[in-house]
């Protein structure tokens, strides 16, 4: 409802997180239905489908406001050059998570050695002068300032790492179960 009323121009990541948790809870709830899906499960299935569709829409929305100028930003999937900023300033959450925008640089690196002129300039958020000034304006101990400056990235990286760890562990358990079935 918020998305319909507010009509955001950029990906609302907080809503995406809520949708992912909603998706997980619906999947867990439906997986504990021992008698298969029944008519009374249809609201849960509809919520699941709506969460998936909404997540896909958000994953394909831009991370940066499309009204901002982008003349000095390289387009995703274009050849990299030091004359333009990294496509990170102009990608979707899905492209960010899959790192698919790096494909041209990676394919060039497979063919030959990459030089400084072959790599994009840093995105605006990672320019040294901007980061230095933002860090200087924070107050408190160095540890507190580091946590405030990097907290979002720490939470994001930790969350993705835990999801990867849980997925790998679940996959290994599945392989062990499969191996025991084959032996029997």
pLDDT tens-digit profile of 34-54? Answer: 676 677 677 878 888 888 998
pTM: 0.64
What's the rounded Cα separation, in Å, for the pair 149 and 134? 8
Q: Which residues pair with 85 in a beta bridge?
A: 73, 121
Would you say residue 184 has pLDDT above 60? no
Are 101 and 77 spatial neighbours (Cβ–Cβ below 8 Å)? yes
Domain coordinates in residue numbering, the chain: 1-61, 64-123, 127-184
DSSP, residue by residue, 120-166: PBPPGGG-HHHHHHHHHH--S-HHHHHHHHHHHHHHHHHHHHHHHHH
What's the rounded Cα separation, in Å, for the pair 104 and 120? 11
Q: How many helices (H) and strands (E) does the chain have?
A: 7, 0
- pLDDT tens digits, 110-155: 999 988 888 888 887 778 888 888 888 888 998 888 888 888 888 8
- Cβ neighbors of 94 (< 8 A, separation 6 or more) are 59, 60, 100
Burial class (CB in 10 A: 0-12, 13-18, 19+), 115: exposed
Q: Is the CA virtual torsion 153, 155, 158, 164 positive or negative?
A: negative
**How far is Cα of residue 134 from the mean position of the Cα atoms in its chain?**
24
Long-range CB contacts (< 8 A, 24+ apart) of 65-69? 65/9, 65/10, 66/9, 66/10, 67/9
For residue 2, the model assigns a pLDDT of: 62
For residue 113, the model assigns a pLDDT of: 92
For the chain, what is the mean pLDDT?
81
Q: How confident is the model at residue 158 (pLDDT cuts 50, 70, 90)?
A: confident
For residue 111, the model assigns a pLDDT of: 92
Percent share of the chain, pLDDT over 90: 3
């Amino acid at each position: 409802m918020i998305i319909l009323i507010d009509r955001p121009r950029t990906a609302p990541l907080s809503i995406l997180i809520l949708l992912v948790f909603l998706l997980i809870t619906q999947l867990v709830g439906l997986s504990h239905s021992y008698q298969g899906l029944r008519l009374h499960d249809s609201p849960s299935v509809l919520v699941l489908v709506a969460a998936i569709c909404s997540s896909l829409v958000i994953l394909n929305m831009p991370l940066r406001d499309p009204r901002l100028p982008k003349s000095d930003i390289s387009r995703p999937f274009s050849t990299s050059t030091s004359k333009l900023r990294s496509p990170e300033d102009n990608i979707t959450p899905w492209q960010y998570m899959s790192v698919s925008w790096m494909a041209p640089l990676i394919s060039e690196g497979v063919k030959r050695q990459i030089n400084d002129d072959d790599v994009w300039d840093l995105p605006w958020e990672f320019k040294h002068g901007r980061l230095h000034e933002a860090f200087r304006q924070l107050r408190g101990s160095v540890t507190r300032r580091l946590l405030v400056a990097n907290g979002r990235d720490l939470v994001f990286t930790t969350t993705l790492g835990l999801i990867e760890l849980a997925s790998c562990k679940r996959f290994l358990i599945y392989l062990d179960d499969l191996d025991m079935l084959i032996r029997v």
